[in-house]
A and B are shown apart, each in its own frame.
Chain A
């Protein structure tokens, strides 16, 4: 148990030691860094619980496999919106989205919708938006979000238009045999 904790937290613990040593050699610097860390930790501990609760709720209640069915070719605006929501309700880094995108392609989602999904996953994840607003303020977050939604659309259009019919088929083939 203790070994497991040590293994995961050793960088943090090492930095605490460095901070303490620094504080002994340069008391002023030590006090200043402690002040900054203290106020940051307090702020984060206050803001994080609701964000992670939202994250957990979204993860459990959003039924991905059902939603994916509605993002196929010819699904129109509804398909685009569902792809967008699928990405926004996600949790995790962007590279975790690629395997999910593969599954969507395998299940017949349109490429455009998959690009929308990737874009949403990268920039409009709901729990992350709340965390962004808590840190950088609501105005910044809203402007960034608005720009990102436009950007997601433009990038999806650009990427889709740049592919020939054969290239599109090749992408589907790439994902035919994934689990």
Chain B
């Protein structure tokens, strides 16, 4: 909650400085803000409804079994593969991850999912190859995947 206030303070301070320096640019940035928001809104509302339905049906026990702390290595592996393959925007993934955590998922498993989702892109590999060539794209993705597993382990130990 406090964090939300900090965010508002930051945004308002930023807006004030921006407005003082250049009104036109401030207007442009607000337009951009609205456009980006409106852009994700359909997907965003969709995932919120899905979370509502799924978490009303799914018992925390099931989630705990699949990706709970005791799901161990297999839970981490499953979560990281899911993250590597899927293409979910952060604005969708984080509320989902929070809902999963609140319903029995383990931090290690969620970190594996989040980290590989962010850094590994199997579906977008062709695009990456176009810019960097095959070798670079594969090395980057493989090392990013390995990193997501290591990060999961470390977070699992700390949290």
Contacts and interface: CB of A to CB of B under 8 A. Distances in A.
Q: Determine if chain A interacts with chain B.
A: yes
Nearest to A16: B49
A95 B124 contact: yes
B85 interface: no
Contacts of A34: 52
B91 A131 contact: yes
Contacts of A76: none
Interface in B108-159: 110-111, 114-115, 118-119, 121, 124, 127-128, 130-133, 135-136, 139-140, 143-144, 147, 150-151, 154-155, 158-159
Interface stretch (A66-74, A77-85, A156-164): A156-164
Interface in A9-41: 9, 11-12, 15-16, 18-19, 22, 29-30, 32-37, 40-41
Contacts of B150: 151
Interface residues of A, number: 77
Interface string A113-145: 001001100110100101111111011100110
Contact of A22 (B53, B89, B124): B53
Contacts of A162: 135, 139
Contacts of B25: 60-61
Nearest to A51: B7
